[in-house]
Chains A and B, each alone.
Chain A
Amino acid sequence: MKQESPSPAWPREIYDVFKQVGIEQIAFVPDAGHTQLIKDCEADNAIEAVSLTSEEEGVAMLAGGWLGGKRGALLMQSSGVGNCINMLSIIQECRFPLLMVVTMRGEWGEFNPWQLPMGQNTQKVLEHAGVIVQRADHANEVRDVVNAAALMTFNSNRPIAVLLGQRLIGFKDWSK
């Protein structure tokens, strides 16, 4: 993996933002880029961390959590965005807040060509489904971008996806 630093601080910064804004539920389909964040959330007794079989389950789950008064976040890889599309109609019709944190594949030095169809269309697909998209491509902007997105989603009752660029996360060097 080539990364901006070998053991990046930004996953912990996302966790810190989650705590600051009062996130009490996270739903996730695992991704290597979210490994540390998932560990931190699972170790926190004040956060219900739910492993999903497919990403759309998380959209429905967090809507249910919000009905019950809880703030949540959905963690996934860009390939999971396509799974969410029809479920996002609930978010739009009911004006649910939804914070998605999406690690990108298929956009920066990707070794696996099968990742490109979804990775190259992730932002467009989200925007077509009514989701506001914001990006972080460098470690020093992750905290601010996630924080701003979290504040806006819970203050406006609208869905926001933060795309964490593959440049930030690093890519596998297939030539080795």
Chain B
Amino acid sequence: MDALLKSRGDALIVTGLGSTCYDAGTADHPNTFYLWGGMGAAAMMGLGLALGQPTRRTVVITGDGEMLMALGAFATIGAKSPKNLSIVVIDNEHYSETGMQPTHTHRGVSLAAVAKACNFPSAETIYTEQELTSEIPALFTGSNLMFRDIKVNMQRYPMSIRMRDGAHIKNRFRENLLGQKAFD
């Protein structure tokens, strides 16, 4: 997450609920929208944002459980194929929030294969630090729809984010992006 956020540039980021939300808080930024609820929303929020801001890159960073709840979103996004959207799953193959139950990615399901089958022109699983380092820049500067499933271990880190008020997170994001137009 740290490596990802250091490369963000002017990208707009949407996190899924749970660990990706907490971890993104370690490098808080007004261009990050943190989801604390609405499991399965992250990818589709990313689509709406990418379509609404076609000159910027939108990067969704979410967990494997959150993405598994939105398999239909792969089809909807693949059919639309916006060029300025990357979806990144931080895949520890478990539901960390609820007692470390294994997710389907632990049992043979490949999200990258789902993305490929859903018309994503670029979809891969990343297993090593080395691969990650070479892949990160393209996620933020690429010129096509991308999906990357990053396999990680099950280590948990202290919750870093204190900002929970949804209306505040939304208004901060919009004001930073749109200026006074945010309140028209």
Contacts and interface: CB of A to CB of B under 8 A. Distances in A.
A148 interface: no
A95 B170 CA distance: 8
A57 B44 contact: yes
A94 B169 contact: yes
**Taking each of A59, A65, A68, which has the highest tally of chain B beta carbons within 10 Å of its own beta carbon?**
A68
A67 B41 contact: no
A56 B73 CA distance: 10
B79 A63 contact: no
B65 to A, nearest CB: 14
B47 interface: yes
B51 interface: yes
Interface string A52-90: 111011111111111111101000000000000011011
B112 to A, nearest CB: 19
**Taking each of B48, B52, B79, B173, which has the highest tally of chain A beta carbons within 10 Å of its own beta carbon?**
B48
A61 B173 contact: no
A67 B167 contact: no
B38 A89 contact: yes
A33 B133 CA distance: 50
Interface residues of A, number: 33
B41 A54 contact: no
**Taking each of A24, A90, A96, which has the highest tally of chain B beta carbons within 10 Å of its own beta carbon?**
A90
Nearest to A71: B52
A86 B39 CA distance: 8
B76 interface: yes
B102 interface: no
A36 interface: no
Given A50-B80, A57-B76, A63-B48, A90 B53 contact: no
B33 A70 contact: no
A69 B79 CA distance: 23
B48 A90 contact: no
B37 interface: yes
Given A50-B80, A57-B72, A61-B47, A68 B41 contact: no
A95 B166 contact: yes
Given A69-B174, A69-B178, A95-B167, A48 B41 contact: no
Interface in A120-162: none
B75 interface: yes
A103 interface: no
A173 interface: no
A62 B48 contact: yes
Given A51-B79, A86-B39, A87-B38, A67 B174 contact: yes
Interface in B1-30: 12, 14
**Taking each of A62, A64, A70, A93, which has the highest tally of chain B beta carbons within 10 Å of its own beta carbon?**
A64
A25 interface: yes
A89 B39 CA distance: 10
A70 B181 CA distance: 11
Given A67-B177, A86-B38, 16 more contacts: A50-B47, A51-B79, A53-B72, A53-B75, A57-B44, A60-B43, A60-B44, A63-B45, A66-B52, A67-B12, A68-B50, A70-B48, A70-B51, A70-B52, A90-B166, A94-B169
6 contacts: A50-B76, A61-B44, A67-B52, A67-B170, A68-B49, A96-B170
